[in-house]
Amino acid sequence: MTDRTFGPKGWTPDRIDSLAGKTFVITGGNAGAGFEASRILLTKGAKVVMLNRNPEKSTAAVGKLKQECGTDADVSFIWMDLADLSSVRDAAEQVLKTVPQIDALICNAAIAQVPTQKFTVDGFESQLGTNHYGHFVLCGMLFDRIEESHGRIVVVASLGYKMGLKTMQFDDMNWDKNYHQNRTYCHSKLAQMMFAYELQDKIKETNKNVKVFVCHPGSSATSLISTSGGIGTRIMWWLMSKSPMVQTAEKGAYPEIMCATEDGLEQRAFYGPTGRMEMVGPVGKGTLESYAVDKQVITKLWDVSEEATGLSWSLYRPVTLPVPEPDGP
């Protein structure tokens, strides 16, 4: 049954009164749904820190956001490449030094439909390494700051999780034997979801003050395919973008903004468009398949991820965070 919690039009940013005094950190905030999410948060008075891999596009995005939202809009970026874990660690350390409060970390950045097998700096299949392992490390390093703020983690996944193996390929996480641009992408997005749901369980076990939500943008007109997909995929997506089955990037940003700001949301859920095939339409709670929360698999993925990245999360041990640097005069 279609979710009607927020009425026939679904959730929209009109439900937000003011976000003054709140800080949002978002990956991939210089284009597509991430840019639109940043813009909407700024119009509500929030501070936005973008973590992006392209300095030139980031500088241009900051300029455009200030032009649209006012020169006093509190928006900045920190360089980070999710495909390089040393870059992720450096960016996280900079955030901890300069951002004293994180009301929500929005894991928005992704690559998709990479036509041939490629690897990250650390030797991971590029889509799994960027979409899952990069965010796994980022969330782990910023977790205690988020908890101090009683904040949230928002994982932006994809309906594609239903189109792949529907489990983790633990015997070949790099897809050396059966690489496929779509199924491998779907594998990476399912990994992100499983990480989030296992994190929910670990937070409950340890009584931490962080909420975790999972959402997807539906079928939205963003630059995701054009930046990493092959020529054939780009052409097919361009044709599809002209149909009613694709919505604007702004509407694609609604689910992640809702998950970052709306009170009273159920955590063990999957939010996004609730219209035709859950690709477009009013935003609310969609369908969450049981295999995405398979306890045996999500627990094993957590262990595999810690071992692969070398990051042991601080959930079960006390941590001392660096003191943020004071603002300049």
Catalytic residue among 161, 185, 197, 271: 185
- Supply angle C-alpha 182, 185, 186, rounded to 5: 85
β partners of residue 255: none
- Length reported for the chain: 329
CB burial readout 237-271, b (16+ within 10 A) else e: beeebeeeebbebbbbbbbbbbbbbbeebebebbb
User: 50 and 77 in contact (C-beta within 8 Å)?
Assistant: yes
For 107, phi and psi rounded to 5 degrees? -85, 85
Place of tokens 């501070």: 47
187 CB-side CA count, 13 A: 24
Rounded CA separation 201/205 (Å) = 6
- Supply angle C-alpha 248, 250, 251, rounded to 5: 70
Question: Token digits for 320?
Answer: 């001392």
* Catalytic annotation present for 185: yes
User: 174 and 119 in contact (C-beta within 8 Å)?
Assistant: yes
Q: Which residues are catalytic?
A: 185
